[in-house]
Each structure stands twice: as C-alpha cells, then as structure tokens.
Structure 1
C-alpha cells in the first residue's frame, strides 16, 4: 500500500490529536480449506481515534466478519497486529484477553442476544458482575446507562416485553457499561424498521459526541455507512476509502 492510500485510513496527527484507540498494522488472516490456503485479510491497515466512527462495507464473503472477530479478540491473526488502547492483543493469554475484552471492547450485533430470563437492568449489569462488582453497584450503574440511551422507564422489563428498537438500545447500553475503548457494531440497524433505525442512528450520534471510544460499524447498509465519519471498503483483503 502506498503512503497516499495509507494516510486515508487514519486521521492526520496534525488535524486530530485524539488518542488512537484501535490500530491494525499488516493484519492478515489465512484459513486452510482442503489442500488450499485461502487468504481473507492481507496486510490490512487501520487506525481509529477516540470519538471517531468508521464504517466498513464490502460484499458478502469479503471478510467483514473475520475482521470484526480479529478486532474483538475472538480470533487470532495469521500475521500483523491489533492494538486496542495501546495493548497488542497478541501479548495476552486467554484469561487476560477475556478480562481485557470485558474492560475495553463493547459489542453490538444485528440480533441483540439479550438473555430472555433477565430484565434490561440485569442484562446490562452482567458485564460488571462478571468483573466482580457487587450487584447493587452494578445494577445502579446499569440504570444510569439505560437512562442515557432512553430506556429509564423500561429497565425492569424483560426482552420479550420490549420492541425491537428498545432491545437494541439495551444491547448498546450493555456494550457501553464497561466504558470501552472500542465499540464494534455488526449491522446494528439491520433488523429494524426505518423509523426505529433512525432513532438508533440518532443515539449513535449522541454517543459519539460524548464517549471516549472508537466506533467501527460493519454494514451492508450504505445509508448507515454514510452516516459515519469515514467509510472504508473491504476488498481483496484490504481496506480502501469507499468511492
């Protein structure tokens, strides 16, 4: 990749002094399929700063899910590095990586994956309970985050009692409660009607203005992508500015 292309994948240090929260250098992932090696990512470069929203678009099979799994520490690269808040994920063992994810990485998926038997408050508090906080403290913090995403009146409702948009707001609150360095969002509006999706976009705008984390949104939705600060196209295992 030439220097002109590389510079488009990160914000110039002179233009933006916010901390780089997510950085990939030379990121590669190759899978073995029968007698052949299949390269999905090949020398990928990316840097995202605090408060910045980056959309990654690409055709089915282009490697978007693979990229998201690598950024979230759910898979290991065949080459290159992923750094979050300055920490190289390759330097962590399985237990350390689990603790690091709990503190630094928030996930939001197309399907909310909330626990059906838990209330909104309990679903959101779970990450802090896993961290070892007392239930009273964790649930109080969960109430605060739910209020931030407009769910204060619904904190004691279970997922089956919530609308699709409300469930997605709870999922976003669950991702935010750990004060992550990076928010990874996989088609966050893909399962919502247009009006509800618009409300989630408005919420993302509010969060980006106040949260000190980087946002990476993987999507097929060109409208959602255009709503972000930068749009990158994943093709041939590398990221390029979307045309």
Structure 2
C-alpha cells in the first residue's frame, strides 16, 4: 500500500505496530578517510535505529562527523564498513542508478546550504524531485505549490533563489525535501537561516508529518530548542552515538 500524500496525511493518522521494524537502521557503520599516510576514523562502529514517525536530533561539536553521518544515511557516501538499511533495504546492495531511484522515492534531504538551482524558480526547484521521478511538469508543480504554501512560500513561488532571503531559500529546500512523501527526512541545520516564528512553524510541520504519514526525521542541529523538540537527542562523539540526557 502506498503512503498517503501530504494532503491525505493531514486528515488521517497512520498507527504503527509496536513491533514494526525500524525505518532506518545502521549496523557497525564506519567511515575512515585517508589523510596522507594516516587513516582518520570519523565514524567507528556506529549503531542507530529510528522508527517510522520518530524524530531524532543529533548534536555534537564541529568536526565530530555529523555531516559525514548524514551523507551516509542519505546514500551520498559509502561506508568503509557496516551498512545502512532504510525501510528494510540495504543501501550497500544498490548500484548507483538504483540508489538514485531509491533516494528519490524514499529520502528527503534538507542541506545546510540549500543547493537550490539558481536558474529555476522556487516552484520549479520544489517540483524537481517529482519531475525526475517522471511526473508531468504541471502535476509536479501542482503538488509542489501545496508544499510551498505549507511553508509560507506560495507568494514567492515564481521567484528565483537569488531573489529570496536565506530563510526563504531554506523554506523552499524544506518543501523540496517533503514533496515526494519520503519515508525518511534528513536535515542538516534546518533552522540555521530561519527566524523564530518560521522555525516554530517548520517544527509543527515535522510533528504533523511524523504523526500522520509515519515519516521519520533525523535532524543535525546546534540549536538546543530544535533538539529538545525531537523525540530523542543523541550526541555524536568519538565516532559513536550516545543518548543525550534530558534537560532539567
């Protein structure tokens, strides 16, 4: 059965069985980089499980490997050892073409620096994942426009990135990540360019999608407010994840 669309998701909840397998699972995830004559281990046997509808924040000092971890979770990099499984499928077993299709179908990614295409409008940027999937442009843009409305960007839909503020570009990037109804959304400092009101609206949208469409979120952030809003907070240190104690 296909996952409900964003509009359907607003009107129904998707209960998950208590024993459901994780939406995201990392097993012995290791990433080693070669720097001159030395090997540098950034991730060292990391384990992570995130269930459908769960929101997990990852915090840690600069250089601790948070972006490296997100790139591995999103299939943008390959591990030195171990594997990542999303919805029960191992990314390690997918070739480059199949992996690209899988990312388009299952994963939404909000990059720290947007990565919007300068020659396209906000609407065209948000619709692009659906067009890549094969939807007709008119249909893709109709769906994308609804997502832009949900992040407050419908009035700016025909503007190109150079005509938008940093916060506006980030909201377009969020709409683009959500437009395909992904099973997993990865966010790298998603509120870095957002004002407090817009950041709060984004977190409410995350809440809604996690609750109604069983979308899982992994959010890398330095913002303690964003981290505290998630179901769990994990700290990346020494190449591994540990549970962050709840704030008093």
Shorter-chain TM-score tier = 0.7 to 0.9
Which whole-Å deviations, capped at 9, do the CAs of 1:5-49 have from their partners, x for residues lacking one? xxxxxxxxx994455211101111111222221111111111111
Q: Which runs of 5+ in 2 are unaligned?
A: 1-15
Are the structure 2 counterparts of residues 219 and 231 from structure 1 closer, same or farther at C-alpha, using a change threshold of 3 Å?
same
- The 3-state SS of whatever aligns with 2:23 is strand
Q: Does the residue aligned with 2:233 lie in a helix, a strand or coil?
A: strand
Q: Give the TM-score normalised by structure 2.
A: 0.85
After superposition, where does 1:64-83 map in structure 2 within 5 Å? 64-83=66-85
1:64-103 matched pairs, under 5 angstroms = 64-103=66-105
Alpha-carbon distance in structure 1 between the residues aligned to 2:143 and 2:62? 38
1:206 Cα offset (Å): 3.0
Gaps of 5+ in 1: 1-13
Number of residues of Structure 1 aligned to a counterpart in Structure 2: 230
Match of 1:194 in 2: 196
Contact 2:151/2:201 (8 A) holds in 1: no
CA distance in 2, matches of 1:149, 1:18: 31
Contact 2:151 2:202 in 1 (8 A): no
Which position in structure 2 is the counterpart of 1:6? none
Partner of 2:9: none
**Which residue number corresponds to residue 157 of structure 1?**
159
Distance 1:203 1:120 in 2: 19
Query: 1:13-162 maps to which residues of 2 (within 5 A)?
Result: 16-162=18-164
**CA–CA separation in structure 2 for the residues paired with 1:177 and 1:15:** 26
The offset of 1:116, in angstroms, is 2.4
Distance 1:192 1:140 in 2: 25
Cα distance between partner residues in 1 of 2:156 and 2:209: 20
Aligned counterparts of 2:206 and 2:17: Cα–Cα separation in 1: 23
CA distance in 1, matches of 2:19, 2:178: 23
Please provide the CA RMSD for this pair.
Answer: 2.0
Which is worse superposed, 131-140 or 109-118? 109-118
Equivalent-residue separation in structure 2 for 1:160 and 1:235 (angstroms): 37
Is the partner of 1:127 in helix, strand or coil? Answer: helix
